[in-house]
Homo-oligomer: A and B are copies of this chain.
Amino acid sequence: MDNTIANSPVHLTMRAGPGQPEPSPQLQALYHGFERELLVPLWTGIGELMPQQPRSQAAPHVWRWERLLALAEQAGQLVPVGRGGERRAIALANPSLGGRPYATPTLWAAIQYLMPGEDAPEHRHTQHAFRFVVEGEGVWTVVNGDSVRMARGDFLPQAGWNWHAHLNAADRPMAWIDGLDIPFAYYTESQFFEFGRESLPPTERVTPLRSRSERLWGYPGLRPLSQVGALPGTPLLVYRWADTDRALDEQLALEAEGHAATLSPGHAAVRYTNPTTGADVLPTIRAEMHRLRPGAQTRSRREVGSAVFQVFDGRGTVHVGERSWAVQRGDLFVVPSWLPYAAQADAASRLDLFRFSDAPIFEALHAHRVREDGA
């Protein structure tokens, strides 16, 4: 019996305090009984388990783009890309999440790096993914045989269970960031994965300026009649920077003309949406681009769930919980659940921030909450 207790993963300690039973030998025996039977009483852990409000395990943290890129370049020299490892992707590990490759408890974020002429082999998985390009060009992501060009500012969502590979058709390496819901799928034990073909056939090694997806879906408010009905993930495989940039500029221009168009003064923002539903591009991931006019700042905001940001352009200062950082192009930082977040552009520079979060999960489950200061 003692043996059983010794082997039990459950370890209970008598404690004094409000809501706690009086320590006693009988209580000690009872706790041993719980341990033996794999039981944990609520009163020993309720404060940790059911806090008054979200108290994130994750920490605010910033990763500097120059250091990420330097390490990715070294990896480009030392680490081949191929079946088994699948991708030369290097993930952010939140400093408070035990060394696991989790930017936040639900989100995975990585820099991916591909050398000239390299392919990343085809596979598919139920995890939802996207690519976002902070600099460079020359790589095509091939989705179900459709080659999609990647260039600075482009956002490429990738709904789960679609075959995909990457193809560097240029004479230079290229880096970009990947975002996925890997930790969420891992934790909830809901993921599937399959290997695809070992290499792309010549007919798919093409590098068109516009993908078939854009040719079919890339028009505001138009959908092909050959494909009606709501899809859980977006069929539009890339959202081009020219559109995003113009949309943000126009919001600021409309604001200057006296019209309601921005989130708050000087703060423009767009959300990437699924044209078949008008909702988020992916069932578990929200993605947005924010632009602050020089000197402008966002409202301070808390939100259930976590987010990862990458500075797309400009310079500014961001505040997450008790932390603040000066940031610039390429820097990545995380905002854990329910910590207040605010950003401010430098006086001489606008600030463009790419943001992704797990908000669709909470909205789908009626668990989303937001609190804004000064709203």
Choose the segment among A48-56, A318-326, A341-349 that binds chain B (4+ C-beta atoms closer than 8 Å). Answer: A48-56
B190 x A305 contact (CB < 8 A): yes
Task: Please indicate which of the listed interface residues A37, A222, A262 has the most CB atoms of chain B within 10 Å of its own CB.
Answer: A222
Partner of A50, one of B63, B125, B362: B125
B42 x A85 contact (CB < 8 A): yes
Q: Known: A101-B45, A125-B50, A221-B273. Contact between A190 and B362, CB under 8 A?
A: yes
Give Cα A97 to B369, complex, Å: 29
Chain A residues 139 to 172 lying within 8 A of chain B, measured CB to CB, are 160
A222 x B272 contact (CB < 8 A): yes
What's the nearest-Cβ distance from chain B to residue A359, in Å?
A: 11
Mask of A21-49 contacts with B, CB within 8 angstroms, 1/0: 10010110010011001111111011001
Task: Please indicate which of the listed interface residues A61, A187, A226, A273 has the most CB atoms of chain B within 10 Å of its own CB.
Answer: A226
Choose the segment among A88-96, A130-138, A307-315 that binds chain B (4+ C-beta atoms closer than 8 Å). Answer: A88-96
Give Cα A98 to B90, complex, Å: 28
What's the nearest-Cβ distance from chain B to residue A204, in Å?
A: 12
A364 x B367 contact (CB < 8 A): no
Give Cα A19 to B192, complex, Å: 19
Mask of A66-102 contacts with B, CB within 8 angstroms, 1/0: 0110010011011110111111111111111111110
B283 x A367 contact (CB < 8 A): yes
A263 x B225 contact (CB < 8 A): yes
B189 x A269 contact (CB < 8 A): no
Which residue of chain B is the closest to A54 with respect to CB atoms? Answer: B189
Q: Is A200 an interface residue (CB 8 A)?
A: no
Residues of B within 8 A of A189 (CB): 54-58, 105, 304-306, 336-338
A221 x B99 contact (CB < 8 A): no
What's the nearest-Cβ distance from chain B to residue A63, in Å?
A: 7
B187 x A187 contact (CB < 8 A): yes
Which residue of chain B is the closest to A125 with respect to CB atoms? Answer: B50
Residues of B within 8 A of A8 (CB): 95, 99
Which residue of chain B is the closest to A186 with respect to CB atoms? Answer: B49
B222 x A244 contact (CB < 8 A): yes
Give Cα A222 to B222, complex, Å: 13
Task: Please indicate which of the listed interface residues A85, A212, A269 has the most CB atoms of chain B within 10 Å of its own CB.
Answer: A85
What's the nearest-Cβ distance from chain B to residue A129, in Å?
A: 11
- Measured CB to CB, the residues of A under 8 A from B are 8-11, 17-21, 24, 26-27, 30, 33-34, 37-43, 45-46, 49-58, 61, 63, 67-68, 71, 74-75, 77-80, 82-101, 105-106, 110, 125-127, 160, 182, 184-194, 212, 215-226, 228, 230, 232, 234, 236, 239, 243-244, 246-247, 250-251, 253-254, 259-263, 269-278, 281, 283-284, 288, 290, 304-306, 336-338, 358, 360-362, 364-367, 369
